Amino acid sequence: MNLNVQNNALRSLLNADGRTLENFKFFPGDKLGLTVDEVCSAAALAVQAALADGLVDTAPHSGLQQSQL
Amino acid sequence: MLRNLVEVFQDRVTLPIEVTEIRTAIQTIGFQDRIILSARTLDTEVLRGTFYQWTERATLYGEPQLVTLVIYPENINICWQRLICAKEMVHVCDQQIAKTVDIEAIVKLAEKLLGPSKAEATDVTDVMALVDKLAQFQALDLLFPKAARAVAKLKLADNSKTLLEIAEWAKIPQQYVELALTDQWETISARFLSMHD
């Protein structure tokens, strides 16, 4: 297992600012030859951006009225 | 834990079930203090979603709060956005053995998810990888619950609705509707659920 720069960025991010990591999962994409570094790097960037924006909630909505089939 | 959550929705025949309803149910049952669903532009060939759960204290001696951040791609269609959010929220119900609590475990899990699948399971990371893949299917029980599936099967059988119309009603990708309406699904779903008990 190779803990490189991307992984270390994720490591320092997940336990920073009073946060204690409890669980972390990701849903990788389907790119051919996708590497662990690419996924960790993308996850670190996404988490960092969400934290920097103040953890704003933007839940998706279907835009549909609930109905029977 | 997951069974309690699935039971909240299992009798629903009015769809779509909103992702925010699932979040409210999780919080009402008491699994979690705060869940943030954050839309970001993601390269979905690399990353389709992230689940990050942590504890924090508002004050030095305050009660720890359990917080979850789910990041999903805003640049894909709403059916996939909903499925990814539900799949990631299923991880709130992860049992201790399936949790990744340090970077070494996260990297090992990624290696398992991205690497070639092997018949033999040799360590706890295999369990984590299995749980992670199962979460996709377990999300179906939340967005397309049992009672709704029963109604859909009847409508499909009498040709009054098509798979496409049912997918649009449930607002999930059509291939998942197809899977959930197979004869084997109810047995598979029950077995998946019992793995969480």
Q: What is the pLDDT of residues A15-68, one digit of tens each?
A: 889 999 999 998 999 898 999 999 999 999 999 999 999 999 999 999 999 999
The identity of residue B56, as a single letter, is E
Q: Is A47 on the interface with B (CB under 8 A)?
A: yes
Q: Which residues of B touch A22 (CB under 8 A)?
A: 53-55, 66, 99, 101
Residues 159-188 of B with CB under 8 A from A: 161, 165-166, 169, 171
- Reply yes or no on whether the pLDDT at A1 is more than 50: no
- Reply yes or no on whether the pLDDT at B65 is more than 70: yes
Query: B30 burial class (0-12, 13-18, 19+ CB within 10 angstroms)?
Result: exposed
Cβ contacts of B76 within 8 Å, gap of 6 or more? B44, B48
- Reply yes or no on whether the pLDDT at A3 is more than 70: no
What's the DSSP call for residue A40?
H
Q: Is the ipTM of this complex over 0.85?
A: yes
Distance CA B6, CA B10 (A): 6
CA B86 to chain centre: 4
SS3 B108: helix
Nearest to A19 among B51, B54, B152 (CB): B54
Percent helix, strand and coil across chain A, each to the nearest 5: 40, 15, 45
Angle at A60 between CA B20 and CA B34, to 5 degrees: 45
Please state the rounded mean pLDDT for residues B98-112: 86
Distance CA A6, CA A25 (A): 16
Block residue for tokens 């069974």: B3
Q: Picking from A36-40, B145-149, B169-173, B175-179, which range would have the lowest pLDDT averaged per residue?
A: A36-40
Q: How far is A15 from chain B (nearest CA, A)?
A: 8
Residues 27-46 of A with CB under 8 A from B: 27-31, 34-36, 38-40, 42-43, 46
Q: Is B31 on the interface with A (CB under 8 A)?
A: no
Nearest to A68 among B14, B91, B165 (CB): B14
| pLDDT, position B126 | 74
Percent of chain B scoring above 90 in pLDDT: 64
Q: How confident is the model at residue A9 (pLDDT cuts 50, 70, 90)?
A: confident
Select the more confidently predicted residue: B110 or B69. B69
N-terminal to C-terminal alpha carbon distance within chain B: 7
- Reply yes or no on whether the pLDDT at B22 is more than 80: yes
Distances (CA, A) of B103 to A24, A28, A33, B108, B132: 9, 16, 22, 8, 16
| pLDDT, position B173 | 96
Q: What is the mean pLDDT of chain B?
A: 90
Residue B73 · residue B40 · CB < 8 Å? yes
Distance CA B116, CA B129 (A): 12
In chain B, at which residue ranges do the beta strands (DSSP E only) sit?
Answer: 34-40, 47-57, 64-73
Q: If we measure between CA atoms, which residue out of A29, A52, A11, A68 comes closest to residue B100?
A: A11
- Reply yes or no on whether the pLDDT at B115 is more than 80: no
Q: Is B135 on the interface with A (CB under 8 A)?
A: yes
Nearest to B82 among A28, A62, A66 (CB): A62
Q: What is the pLDDT of residues B35-52, one digit of tens each?
A: 999 999 999 999 999 999
Q: Which residues of A touch B93 (CB under 8 A)?
A: none
Angle at A9 between CA A6 and CA A12, to 5 degrees: 150
- Reply yes or no on whether the pLDDT at B119 is more than 70: no
